[in-house]
């Protein structure tokens, strides 16, 4: 029997400067990670604002309102940290695998 827990989703809450929730959404962690790695590769030799602009666009695709580049940067870092946490889960924990997700975690 294969008994797996689907822990591949992450709830993301966007709050304004006063702490009021503006948007809440659920993201597929590995799909999001893989998309962000692709964005990072495409914008590797470009100014950082271009990477952040693409992340803002991706978040809009996910239904988020337009966000700041600061939020985009923190979102990117948060996704990487969560993927790393799951990759370091105890032996026997079922983790989704793909060529991109098995690569080393890139730095932002």
Domain boundaries, the chain: 29-87
User: How far is the C-alpha of 29 from the C-alpha of 8, rounded, in Å?
Assistant: 5
> Within a 13 Å sphere around the CA of 96, how many CA atoms are in the beta-carbon half?
16
User: How far is the C-alpha of 72 from the C-alpha of 98, rounded, in Å?
Assistant: 24
Q: Is the dihedral of CA 95, 100, 103, 104 positive or negative?
A: negative
**pTM (2 decimals)?**
0.76
| Per-residue pLDDT at 108 | 46
Q: What are phi and psi of 13, to 5 degrees?
A: -115, 130
- Over the chain (108 residues), the average pLDDT of each successive run of 10 is 88 94 95 95 95 96 95 95 86 47 46
């Amino acid at each position: 029997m294969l008994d797996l827990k689907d822990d591949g989703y992450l709830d993301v809450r966007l709050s304004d400067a006063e702490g009021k929730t503006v948007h809440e959404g659920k993201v597929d962690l590995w799909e999001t990670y893989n998309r962000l790695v692709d964005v990072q590769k495409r914008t590797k030799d470009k100014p950082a604002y271009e990477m952040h602009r693409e992340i803002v666009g991706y978040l809009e695709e996910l239904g988020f309102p337009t966000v700041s580049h600061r939020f985009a940067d923190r979102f990117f870092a948060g996704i990487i940290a969560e993927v790393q946490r799951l990759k370091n889960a105890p032996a026997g924990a079922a983790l989704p695998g793909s060529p991109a997700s098995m690569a080393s975690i890139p730095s932002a």
